[in-house]
Structure 1
Amino acid sequence: MSSWARLALLVLLAAPPAAAGPVGRAALRAEIAAWNIDIRPDGAGLPPGQGSVTDGEALYAEACAACHGDFGEGLGRYPALSGGQGTLKADRPTKTVGSFWPHLSTLFDYTRRAMPAYQGQSLTDDQVYALTAYILNLNDLVPADFTLTRQNFTTIRLPNADGFRPDDRATAEDPLFRAPPCRQDCRTAPRITARASPRRPRRRQPFPFILAKILHGGPGV
């Protein structure tokens, strides 16, 4: 070992251990506010603002139609936003705001959080209200002169609001699998309910007979 290596080792051994302390810091209010932007079905979290169908139509044509189509029909692999009513039981249901989504808060939250594509959180709250109002109008859920606000937001009921139910596996299924298994006299004695009848074997013809029928035709093969 070189003298430099010995010196470095001695310095490391002589150094006091690093004092243990808290890791990180408390989040600032501004940081929490930036994360806490979810909108709930009961309207909790909605920001102040409003937007009309008319304003939303102009904004949609500029920022949304290139992917979702002029009337929300969806282009290419981009999802449709309108239509699809009555298709949920079909082999290929069309899942849109007007046919599948249960709550308006989902549309508002996702638009505000992630739209337009690759430019998430670039819209103002009024613009999100306007786009939401216009998409509702595309689905014939509000009239053309409608203005969406925080005050009337929860009055909008989507057609499939009752199409979902809470996850009840904890009460409906878990008890079936957590019950003690049966270990004795679990099944009754077997009971014969029917008997199979033997099939009548097919009579096989000798090869010369079959060959003659193939060469000369006629019934009986």
Structure 2
Amino acid sequence: MVISCNRSPERFGIGRPATQHEIDAVNISIAPDGKGLPPGTGHVAEGRALFIAKCAPCHGPTGTEVPQYRLVATPDDTTHTRAIGNYWPYATTLYDYIRRAMPFNAPGSLSNEEVYHLTAFLLYSNQLIDSNRVISARTLPGIVMPARKWYVNDDRRGGNEVR
């Protein structure tokens, strides 16, 4: 088969179409409004223990000790550190990021419950929720992050649009 430099073939004759189960396994996006959040709950106390065990080696025991990996900065922090409490616009993004990328040495290895627990602990550490708040798919989208007011949705039309 000859392939023109200007045109790729419709099919290369290798592989197979992904099954719906395979697609669903990697389709784990969480929208700012909470669409896509799985069932489960998170508690600050359980999140603290998980953080010490799985996150502290990189972020320090409280999430403030390692400047380049700092996670905790309250809304009134004056150090200009970009952390969860003063930079992230949506609490659901925190869940999404932890679920996909953490821990660094084993991304995607945490259960949904563990991610909810860590999310609860980090929101508490950033003074965004109290220690008794239960985090779930129902409650997480309702947490208003202080930095949300600084973000502007990209509503431009034309060109490559994200849908």
TM-score range normalised by the length of the shorter chain: 0.7 to 0.9
Give TM-score, length-normalised by structure 1. Answer: 0.61
Cross-structure match for 1:160: 147
Give yes or no for contact 1:84–1:95 (8 Å, CA) kept in 2: no
- Secondary structure, counterpart of 1:98 in structure 2: helix
Select the residue among 19, 25, 34 that pairs with 2:16: 25
Q: Which amino acid aligns with 2:71?
A: L
Give TM-score, length-normalised by structure 2. Answer: 0.82
Q: Structure 1 residue 168: deviation in Å?
A: 5.5
Give the number of aligned pairs.
148
Distance 1:137 1:168 in 2: 32
Distance 1:169 1:117 in 2: 35
Cross-structure match for 1:148: 135
Unaligned stretches of 5+ in structure 2? 1-8, 159-163
Q: Which amino acid aligns with 1:117?
A: F
1:107 is the counterpart of 2:85: no
- Secondary structure, counterpart of 2:42 in structure 1: strand
Identical counterparts, % of pairs? 39
Alpha-carbon distance change, 168 to 51 in structure 1, aligned in 2, over 3 angstroms: closer
Alpha-carbon distance change, 21 to 97 in structure 1, aligned in 2, over 3 angstroms: closer
Cross-structure match for 1:48: 39
After superposition, residues 38-187 of structure 1 pair within 5 angstroms as: 38-75=29-66, 77=68, 79-83=69-73, 85-86=75-76, 93-167=80-154
- Secondary structure, counterpart of 1:34 in structure 2: helix
What is the RMSD computed on CA atoms of the aligned residues? 2.3
- Please tell me whether Structure 1 or Structure 2 has the larger radius of gyration of its CA atoms: 1
Q: Structure 1 residue 169: deviation in Å?
A: 6.1
Distance 2:155 2:41 in 1: 37
Q: Which amino acid aligns with 1:156?
A: I
Give CA-to-partner distance per residue, 1:91-118, whole Å, 9 cap, x none: x721111001101121111100110012
Alpha-carbon distance change, 30 to 62 in structure 1, aligned in 2, over 3 angstroms: same
Distance 2:114 2:88 in 1: 21
Alpha-carbon distance change, 66 to 30 in structure 1, aligned in 2, over 3 angstroms: same
Q: Which amino acid aligns with 1:61?
A: I
Distance 1:157 1:170 in 2: 28
Q: Which amino acid aligns with 2:109?
A: S
